[in-house]
Amino acid sequence: MEQLLDIHPEVKEALEAGKPVVALESTIISHGMPYPQNAETALAVENIIREEGAVPATIAVIGGKLKAGLSPEEIEYFGKKGTDIAKASRRDLAVLCARGEDGATTVTTTMMIAHMAGIKVFATGGIGGVHRGAETTMDISADLQELANTPVCVICAGAKAILDLALTLEYLETNGVPVIGYGTEELPAFYSRHSGLKVDYRMDTPEEIAKAFATQLSMGLKGGMLVTNPIPEEYAMDGKGIDEAIEKALREAKEQGIKGKETTPFLLAKIKDITGGDSLDSNIRLVFNNARLAARIAKAM
Ligand code: PSU
Ligand code: MN
C-alpha cells in the first residue's frame, strides 16, 4: 500500500497538521468536459478551495500509482489526454496499478483513494446512480455502492436526469446513505435546482453538515454522506430545453446499443453537443459552487 499510494507533499503536510483538505475527482477532467475548459476548470476549482483556506487534492491513477494531489502539469496532462485515459472504477483499480497504467478516477475510486489517504471531504459535479431502465439493464453506478461502504462526505449538485432519480434515492436509503439538501428540501438535479423529489434532511450551514458527518464517523458507521448543493439560480437550466436534450441523448444511446461504462460518458457528451456551450458553463459554475461548500465543510470538521 505504502508504495502504491502517493500523497502530494502539500496534502500530506496539511493532513498531518489537521488542516482541511478537499478531494477532487479526475474523470470530470478527462471524460466530463472538453479540453481546454477541463484543465482550466480543474485548476480554478483548486484555487477556490485554497481561497477558502483548505488544501485541494485532485485524485487520479498515474503510472500505476494512486495519487492524492496532482501538480498543475499532471492536471494539464489529464485534460489533454481526455478520453484516452481509462475511466477507472473500483473493478479497474488493481489491474491499472499492476500494469503501471493511468486512470481517471470516478466518484467511486476518488472516494476509495481519499479514504486511503485520510481525506474526509470530496467535491464533484454530479454522481452516478440508478439508470433509467435499470430494472432490465441492471445499470447501477458503483458510486452508490461506494457511498454505502466508504466514509467520505461527497458534495455534489445532485445527479443528472439521465438517471432515474427516484430509484437512486431508494437505493441510497436501502444502503443507509443520508442525503442532505444544502438550503433546500428538494433534491437538485444537476443543471436544474428541481427534481420534485425530497432529500432526507435540509441543512443550512457547513457547520451543521460537518457536525452530522463527524457524528457518523464517531459512531464507526462504514458509509458516506451525500450533500446535494443546488446550482446557483443564475446558472440553472430549468425546463424544456434540457429535458428534450436528455430524452434525445437517451434515445441515441439505445439506438446505438451503448452499454456498461460507456453509457454515462456517452450521455454526457451528447447532452453537451445538443445544448451547446450553455450546459458547459452551468457545469463549470456548479462545480465551483460545490468546491466552495466542500472547503467550508472541511474547515468546520
Ligand atoms: N455524472 C456527471 N458528470 C460526470 C460523471 C457523472 O454529471 O463526470 C462521472 C463521475 O466520475 C461519476 C461517473 O462517478 O461518471 C459515473 O459513471 P458510471 O455511471 O459509469 O458509474
Ligand atoms: Mn454504469
For residues 278-282, average pLDDT = 87
Q: Is there a catalytic annotation at residue 40?
A: no
List the one residue out of 121, 86, 118 whose CA is nearest residue 105.
Answer: 86
Q: What is the residue-averaged pLDDT of the chain?
A: 96
Question: Which amino acid is it at 193?
Answer: R
Domain spanning 1-119, CATH class: alpha beta
The pLDDT assigned to 277 comes to 72
The pLDDT assigned to 2 comes to 58
For residues 233-247, average pLDDT = 87
pLDDT one-digit tens code per residue, 100-149:
999 999 999 999 999 999 999 999 999 999 999 999 999 999 999 999 99
Residue ID of nearest Cα to ligand 1 atom 2: 126
For residues 265-272, average pLDDT = 89
Q: Is there a catalytic annotation at residue 160?
A: yes
Domain ranges of the chain: 1-119, 121-301
Task: Identify the active-site residue in 12, 87, 120, 160.
Answer: 160
List the one residue out of 69, 61, 156, 76 whose CA is nearest residue 109.
Answer: 61
For residues 41-66, average pLDDT = 98
The architecture CATH gives domain 121-301? 3-Layer(aba) Sandwich (3.40)
The pLDDT assigned to 269 comes to 87
Grid cell for residue 240: 424544456
Q: Is the distance from the beta carbon of residue 270 to the nearest atom of ligand 1 less than 6 Å?
A: no
Strand partners, 121: 22, 153
Which residues, 6 or more positions from 161, have their beta carbon under 8 angstroms from its beta carbon?
189, 190, 192, 195, 242, 243, 246
What is the number of other CB atoms lying within 10 angstroms of the CB of residue 45? 27
Residue 268's pLDDT band (cuts 50, 70, 90): confident
Q: Which ligand is nearest to the CA of 144?
A: 1
Work out which ligand 1 atom sits closest to the CA atom of 27. 11
Grid cell for residue 82: 481526455
Which position has the grid cell 452508490? 144
